Amino acid sequence: MEYKKILTIQDISCVGQCSLTVALPILSACNMETCILPSAILSTHTAGFSGFTFRDLTDDMPKIREHWEKENIKFDAIYTGYLGSIKQIDYVKEIMDTMGNEGCVKIVDPAMADNGKLYGLFDMDYVQAMKKLCRCADILLPNITEACFLADCEYKESYDEAYIMTLLEKLIEMGAKSVVLTGVSYNKDKTGVVVYENSEYKYYEHKKIAKGCHGTGDVYASAFTGTYMGGKDMLTSAKIAADYTVKCIENTQTDPSHWYGVKFETALSDLINMIK
């Protein structure tokens, strides 16, 4: 397996198993050299905790890029997660435009919405800025809510394959080269992921767990990125990431005290075996 250098850009929640505290170990377990650019540091994530600390690192981002340029540091892939502001999106787009090796794979998880709604700090101006970043993506990793905002489509909880195809085609028209759409459920007992690559629709259906966990989107995106950059095709990577995420949720559900995240560490050996 070729040893790849991946840059991931998102925040650090020191406690809570999401964002960079998920991405760094998962990508490393996939045999990737993992470089990070933290957009902010929080004492905990913001879902369920109160009184958390927050340090914005927006102004450090261009300085870090400038230093990397001086050192001639380049990356084989750039993978983005949660970004806290339009200014950060602009800085990340500049990094994507300048810091990749030839053939650099640009993977964008537009982490901004779920269950039909934008996250609390975001508005439609943020969505418009995120569209600019998504146009750069070789692979776009939205959930259905995020896809609807990006594609300017009505969000529906009940839908058919024609509706999903409309979302996918609009995302490609927007500029993304390929799309992996998560949380696609055609019946109440199952869910799955759609891979849309070279105008081909492929669906992988998997087990649906009623009670989810915080941070599973980050787990999925990181596992997908590590698997794909390790040489698996897009559909295989999507399947492995889905199966790994389900395993992580299953390993967490029996522990009610672990409400704030997902025990992804307990399934890292499963992920490594899946990749092998």
pLDDT digits (tens, 9 = 90+) for 107-138: 999 999 999 999 988 999 999 999 999 999 99
- At 213 the pLDDT is 80
Sign of the Cα pseudo-torsion (107, 112, 117, 118, in order): negative
Architecture of domain 5-269: 3-Layer(aba) Sandwich (3.40)
pLDDT digits (tens, 9 = 90+) for 175-230: 999 999 999 999 888 999 999 999 999 999 998 887 778 889 999 999 999 999 99
Of all residues in the chain, the percent with pLDDT exceeding 70 is 100
One-letter amino acid identity for 234?
M
Cβ count near 9 (within 10 Å): 24
What are the residue boundaries of the structural domains of the chain, listed by start?
A: 5-269
Assess contact for 34 and 79: CB atoms under 8 A. Answer: no
Q: Is 276 helix (H, G, I), strand (E, B) or coil?
A: coil
**Alpha-carbon distance 232 to 158, whole Å?**
32
pLDDT digits (tens, 9 = 90+) for 49-79: 999 999 999 999 999 999 999 999 999 999 9
- At 1 the pLDDT is 64
- Strands 139-140, 100-108: pairing is parallel
